């Protein structure tokens, strides 16, 4: 493949965050177009290099085509939107119906989450898979936090062994997802700050391990918990249905941050230092894919045509 065509297609692919199979197919289609155009220009007397350059010029800026192709493929159907938001709806339903203490219901939701996450993994990780994966990972994170609150210093020892392993797994998965598209990583992590803000604002220290009062408070707050998860579901549906990347970003990032801020401020007296630390970390984790993307841009500045022109 000639240099200018190869460079053009690399720029195009770098700008396009969609399923790899679709991306490769579109790139191949553009390649066949450029090949035809270049061949036609060569027949008019241009050199190979000139013909390739003219062909890529005629096709237009790669980042613009990538953006338009993205907008075509990034918008999911209503069915897809509903299925992507379904885990949030299930959690909302658990709290709205006060079945969150029912071990059978919790197990059913948990098993469905695990089953659907595994199914999505084998189906090539489509967009709807990521919130399910987020809930699948949640027990790993919550266990780490519960370990911190074990009594008499044992917690820190257990946490020191467990947390690095959990963090490693989490970072690995977030990194892999960010490579595909950082928006999917944030989609996956969206419930985490919301769950933590509820978990930590309803009691200080180790209350939620030891104290029945914490359970009673959660029971009282259940309708509000349901509303926050319904808000997450609505944000997820907007994310899937919107076309432009910019509006997708807004619809995904703003609601969890606002929910976290509102719950934390309303219950600020109940959150201890460790609680604030965990809330801050969870917010950082949620927004980290966006920062990672930004950092990646700074490192590769000048190489990535798409980012440099801010076409996303």
Partner 1 sequence: MNYGRELLKGNTDSLLLYLIDLQPTYGYRIVKELEKRSNGYFQFKEGTLYPALHRLEKDRLIRGEWQTLPNGQQRRYYYITRKGQQALAKRLAIWQDFSTAVRAIIQPETI
User: CB neighbours of 285 closer than 8 A, spacing ≥ 6?
Assistant: 170, 174, 189, 192, 193
Residue 297 CB, shortest distance to partner 1, in Å, is 24
Residue 257 CB, shortest distance to partner 1, in Å, is 32
Helix axes 191-201, 212-241, angle to 10 degrees: 160
Radius of gyration of the chain (CA): 23
Q: Give Cα 109 distance to the centre of its chain.
A: 21
> Quick one: which of 200, 138, 197, 147 has its CA closest to 170?
138
Q: Does 68 bind partner 1 (CB under 8 A)?
A: yes
Residue 26 CB, shortest distance to partner 1, in Å, is 7
Q: Does 37 bind partner 1 (CB under 8 A)?
A: yes
Number of CB atoms found within 10 A of residue 37's CB: 19
Output 49 or 71, the one with its CB closest to partner 1: 71
Give me the phi and psi of 128, to 5 degrees please. Answer: -65, -20
Long-range contacts of 29-34 (CB under 8 A, 24+ apart): 30/59, 30/65, 31/1, 31/5, 33/59, 34/5, 34/8, 34/9, 34/59
Give me the phi and psi of 80, to 5 degrees please. Answer: -65, -40
In the list 15, 51, 69, 233, the residue contacting partner 1 (rule: CB under 8 A) is 69
d(CA 150, CA 128): 36
In the list 3, 24, 36, 124, the residue contacting partner 1 (rule: CB under 8 A) is 36
Residue 46 CB, shortest distance to partner 1, in Å, is 17
Output 8 or 208, the one with its CB closest to partner 1: 8
Size of the site for partner 1 (CB under 8 A): 21
Output 214 or 239, the one with its CB closest to partner 1: 239
Q: Does 58 bind partner 1 (CB under 8 A)?
A: yes
> Quick one: which of 247, 148, 124 has its CA closest to 196?
148
Number of CB atoms found within 10 A of residue 241's CB: 18
Residue 68 CB, shortest distance to partner 1, in Å, is 4
Residue 18 CB, shortest distance to partner 1, in Å, is 10
Q: Does 59 bind partner 1 (CB under 8 A)?
A: yes
In the list 9, 15, 16, 26, the residue contacting partner 1 (rule: CB under 8 A) is 26
In the list 65, 91, 117, 192, the residue contacting partner 1 (rule: CB under 8 A) is 65
Task: Tell me the window of 22-30, 113-121, 176-184, 245-253 that interacts with partner 1 (CB under 8 A).
Answer: 22-30
Residue 61 CB, shortest distance to partner 1, in Å, is 7
Residues that bind partner 1 (CB under 8 A): 25-26, 28-30, 32-33, 35-37, 58-61, 64-65, 68-69, 71-73
């Amino acid at each position: 493949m000639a240099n200018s065509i190869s460079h053009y297609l690399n720029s195009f692919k770098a700008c396009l965050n969609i399923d790899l199979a679709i991306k490769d197919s579109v790139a191949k289609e553009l390649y066949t177009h450029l090949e035809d155009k270049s061949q036609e220009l060569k027949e008019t007397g241009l050199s190979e290099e000139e013909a390739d350059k003219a062909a890529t010029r005629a096709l237009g800026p790669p980042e613009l085509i990538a953006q338009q192709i993205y907008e075509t493929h990034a918008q999911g159907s209503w069915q897809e939107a509903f299925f992507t938001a379904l885990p949030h709806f299930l959690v909302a339903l658990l709290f709205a119906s006060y079945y969150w203490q029912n071990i059978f219901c919790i197990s059913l939701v948990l098993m469905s989450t695990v089953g659907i996450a595994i199914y999505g993994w084998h189906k090539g990780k489509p967009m709807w898979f990521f919130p399910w994966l987020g809930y699948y990972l949640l027990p790993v994170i919550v266990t780490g936090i519960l370990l911190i609150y074990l009594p008499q210093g044992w917690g820190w020892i257990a946490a020191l062994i467990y947390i690095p392993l959990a963090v490693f797994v989490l970072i690995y998965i977030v990194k892999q997802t960010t490579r595909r598209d950082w928006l999917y990583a944030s989609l996956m992590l969206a419930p985490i700050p919301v769950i933590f803000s509820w978990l930590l604002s309803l009691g200080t220290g180790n209350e939620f391990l030891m104290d029945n009062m914490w359970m009673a408070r959660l029971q009282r707050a259940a309708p509000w918990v349901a509303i926050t998860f319904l808000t997450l579901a609505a944000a997820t549906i907007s994310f899937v249905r919107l076309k432009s990347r910019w509006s997708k970003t807004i619809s995904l990032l703003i609601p969890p941050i606002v929910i976290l801020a509102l719950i934390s401020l309303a219950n600020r007296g109940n959150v201890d230092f460790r609680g604030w630390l965990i809330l801050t970390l969870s917010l950082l984790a949620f927004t980290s894919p966006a920062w990672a993307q930004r950092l990646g841009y700074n490192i590769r500045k000048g190489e990535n045509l798409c980012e440099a022109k801010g076409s996303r």
